[in-house]
Amino acid sequence: MFIRGQIFSCLCVFAPLRLVFLVLFLSSPIFAQVVSGTITDAQNAPVQNANVSLLKQNKILSQAATDTEGKFSLASNGEKNLILSVEAQGFTSLQKRLSDLQNPIVIVLSPAKISEEVIVSITRTESRLSETPASVVVLNRETIEQTAAQSVDDTLRQVAGFNLFRRSSSKTTNPTTQGANLRGVSGSGAARTSVLLDGVSLNDAFGGWTYWTRVPKIAVENAEILRGGASAFYGNSALSGAINLTTKRAENNKPILRFETSAGTQRTYDGSLFAAFGKNGWNANLAVEDFQTAGYIPVEKAERGVVDSNANSRYRNGFFTLEKRFNEDKSNGRQDAKFFENARIFMRGSLFSERRDNGTRLTKNRTYFRQAVFGTDFGDEKFGAFQLRAWIEAQVYDQTFSAVSADRNTENLTRIQRVPSQARNANLFWVRTFANHAISVSADAREVRGFSDESIINNNRTTSLVSAGGREFSYGIFAQDFWRVTKKLNLNFGGRFDRWRESDALSTTKNLTGNGQTSVVKFPDRSEQSFSPRLAALYQINDNFSLVASFSKSFRAPTLNELYRAFRVGSVLTQANENLRAERATNLETGANFTGFAKRLVLRGNVFQTEISNPVVSITSSTAPNLITRQRQNVGRTRSRGIELDAEFLLRKNLRFSASYLLVDSRVTSFPANAELIGKFLPQVARQQLTFQIFYRLQDKFSFGLQARFSGAQFEDDQNLLRLRPFFNLDALAIYRLRKNLEIFAAIENVFNNRYDIGLTPNRTVAAPRFVRIGLRY
C-alpha cells in the first residue's frame, strides 16, 4: 500500500508536466494535424487568394487559398519534415521549413522583383538575365496573359523593333509576309530572325517566313527575344536576332490545365487547351487550338471595287509530347548510372492546317503541315550535359494569284500554285562547367527539298505548267565560352562555322498551246560558307549599374523560295532569282543597364549598328498601269544604326508599367547596279517605334491593362515613292476573377478604330477595324 501510494503521489506531481509537454507537442507546427496562419504584405495588409501548400519531397500534401483576411488552414496529417510554400501574384514566392516557424504562423511576403532572377537560355548557356552580355527581353506567362493580343506575334509587338514584313496581324495576312525582323533589318518577306519553339525551329524550311499560328498561345510559358546578330548561336536566319518560345512541363503529381475560349466581332471564335501531367517519371502534355475569323476588307473604302472581299482565316494546330525521365538508382552503387541521372527522352508530334481568303474573290491560300520531333538529354557533372534533337517535317502550301483591273471591278485568275516541301534536321549540343567557365559545343545538319508547281492562266485558260525548285543541304559547328572572369566581369566569346549547298535545281516549263513543247533549265550546283564570331562583355559597376558591349557577325542564306519561286500581290509581281548570294552582317553594340528601387525598376539602353553586305531586297524593274514587276536582288550594302531603350517598373505590387523605344536609321549605302538607290530608306522599316504597357490589379478580383504602340512612317518600295503613314494603336484588357482559377475577360484591339496603312500594292490596304471579344479563361 505504501509503494502504491508513493507511485500515485509521483504521478500526481508529474501530471502537470505531462500536460505541458502534451500541449507543446500538439501545438507544434510540425506535428499538428492542422496548420493555420496568416499571409500579409510588408504593410501588414492581408494577402487574399495566395496559394499556400504543404510539401514533402516536392509532393503536395495539401493546398489552400487565403481568404479575405489572408488566413489559411491546411491538413498536415501528422507528417514530419514539411515545407510551407506560398505563391501570390505581385509577390516573390516563398518556401520555409515548417519546423522553423512559430505559432501563430504569420508570413510576410515581399513585392515581386523584375527580371533580376530570371534565367535565360537563348544564348545557348543558362545564365541570369542580369549577368547576360546581350540585349535580351523576356516575356513570362503572366505578361503574356496581360495583353489583349490574340496571337503570339501581336503579343511580341510590345518589344520595340520586333516587326513582321507587313504591319498587320498574322490573323489576316498571307503567311509569306510573316517573316520576323528586329532592329530595322528588313527587305523582303523572309525572316531575318531565328524563331524557335522549345529549341526547334519555327521558320518555314522552304520560304523562311514564320507560321505564328502554328503555336497555341496558351502553351507558351516564356518568350525570350535576343536582339542583334545571333548566327554565332543559331546559324542561318539569325541575321538580326533570335526568339525562343518555351512551354511548361508538368512535375510529378503537379498537373497543369489551361483552357481559354472567346468570341468577338468580325465573327471571330477561338478555343484552346493546354494540359500537362507527370507521374513516376512519365510526363505528357497536349496543346490544341481552333481559330476562325470572317476578317475584314483590307482595301481602303474609297478604292474598293466589286472584286474586293474579306481577308479571313481559319486554322487548327496542336502538339502532343510524351517524355520519360530517368533518375539515378543510388542504392545499387553503379557509377555508370550517374551519367544518366535526371536523363530524359521525349517525342513530340505536331499538326497544323489553315486556309485563308486574301482580300479578293479569287486569291486564297491553304497550308497543311506535320512534324515529328525526337530528343534526349543526359549527362553528369564529370562529363557535362548532352542534348540531342532530331526532327522531320513535311508541308504542302497552295496559293492562287489574280490580276485586278484598275477600277477593281474585274478579276482574272493568273496562276495556281502548289509548293510541297520536306525537311530533316539533327542537332547535338554539349555543355560543361569548368571552374569559372561554361563551355558549350554543338553540331547540326539540315536538308530541305522543295518545288513550286504552277499552272499559268491567261484569259481563263491554262497556257503552261511551270515547276521550279531544288535541294539544300547545310551543316554547322558551334563553340563558345561563358567566362565569369571576376564577380564583376563576364565574357562571352565563341563562333560558328556554316556551310550549305544547293543542288538538283531545275526549272521545267511545259507549253500547253501550240505543239506542247517542254523546256528544261538545269541550274548549276552552288555552295557558300560563313564564319560567325561573337565577343561580348558585361561589367557590373555596382549593384545597380552594369555596362554591356558586343561584336558579332551574322548571315542569312537565300531560301529555296527566293531562289526559285515567284509570287504576286495585287498588281505587284515579284520574280525569283537563282543567282542570289547570302546576306552577311557585321554587328556592333554597347549599352548600360540600371536596377533600382529594391529591384523593382529596370532600365536598359543600347546603341547599335548593323552593316549588311548583299542584302536581298525586291528591286523594281518595270512599272506599267496594271503591273509593277520586281525581282529579288542583292543590293550592295545597307546600314542600320540606332538606339533602343527599355523600362520596367513595378510601381506597387499590383501596378506594373513597361515601355520600349527604338530609333533606327536604315538605308542603302552602296548599290553599283543602281546608284539612284543609295541613301534610300529600306522598305518596310519605320524610323521610330514606341510601345508601353500598364497593368493594374484591383483587390485581386478586377484587373485592367493597356497596351499602346506608335510607329513612324515607312516606305512600301525600294524607291521610297510609296509612303505608309505613321500610326498609333491602343489595346485594352479587363479581367474579372470569378474564383481562384476562373476568369472572364474582355479585350479590345485598336480601341480608337485607327485604319492605319499596311500596304500599297499600289492600292492602299489598311489595318483591321476595332476588334472586341469576350472570353473565359481557366
Q: List, for residues 514-555, the tens digit of each pLDDT value.
A: 777 899 999 999 999 999 999 999 999 999 999 999 999 999
Answer whether residue 284 shows pLDDT above 90: yes
Closest CA to 165 of 202, 212, 122: 212
pLDDT (0 to 100) of residue 1? 43
> Given a cut of 90, is residue 239 above it in pLDDT?
yes
pLDDT grade for 339, boundaries at 50, 70 and 90: low
What average pLDDT is seen over the chain? 88
Q: Which helix (H) or strand (E) holds 629?
A: strand 627-634
Query: How many other β-carbons are positioned within 10 Å of the β-carbon of residue 135?
Result: 25
**Spatial contact of 451 and 433, defined as CB atoms under 8 Å apart:** no
Residue 26 has pLDDT above 80, yes or no: no
In eight-state DSSP terms, residue 557 is P
Taking 60 as the threshold, does the pLDDT of residue 5 lie above it? Answer: no
Span 259-285, mean pLDDT?
A: 94
Ramachandran angles phi, psi of 300, nearest 5°: -55, 140
Q: Are 89 and 697 in contact (CB under 8 A)?
A: yes
Residue 92 has a pLDDT of 77
Q: What is the pLDDT of residue 341?
A: 66
Cα torsion for 667, 671, 675, 677, to the nearest 10°? -30
C-alpha cell, 316: 487548327
Lowest mean pLDDT among 31-40, 44-53, 192-201, 492-501: 31-40
DSSP-assigned beta bridge partners for residue 467:
453, 508
Q: What percent of the chain has pLDDT over 70?
A: 92
In this structure, are residues 767 and 167 in contact, taking their beta carbons and an 8 Å threshold? yes
| pLDDT at residue 198 in the model | 92
Predicted pLDDT at 19: 41
Question: Roughly how many angstroms between the first and final C-alpha of the chain, as a whole number?
Answer: 73
Residue 661 to residue 644: CA distance in whole angstroms: 6
User: Does pLDDT of 112 surpass 70?
Assistant: no
- Asked if 608 contacts 550 with a C-beta cutoff of 8 angstroms, the reply is no
Kindly tell me if the per-residue pLDDT of 267 is higher than 50. yes
Is residue 404 within 8 Å of 415, Cβ to Cβ? no
C-alpha of 659 from chain center: 18
- For position 755, what pLDDT does the model report? 95
Q: What is the pLDDT of residues 641-677, one digit of tens each?
A: 999 999 999 988 889 999 999 999 999 999 888 889 8
Sign of the dihedral defined by the CA atoms of residues 41, 42, 44, 45, in that order: negative
Please report the pLDDT score of residue 750 as a whole number.
96
- For 7-26, what is the mean pLDDT? 42
pTM: 0.86
Q: Which of helix, strand or coil describes residue 98? A: helix
- Residue 13 is predicted with a pLDDT of 42
C-alpha grid cell for residue 364? 486564297
Q: Residue range 2-29: average pLDDT? A: 43
- Facing residues of 760 across strands? 764
| Rounded CA separation 725/714 (Å) | 7
Average pLDDT over residues 216-232: 95
Are 217 and 144 a contacting pair, CB within 8 Å? yes
pLDDT in tens, 448-484: 999 999 999 988 899 999 999 999 999 999 999 999 9
pLDDT band with cut points at 50, 70 and 90 for residue 185: confident
Asked if residue 711 lies in contact with residue 727, where contact means CB atoms within 8 angstroms, the answer is yes
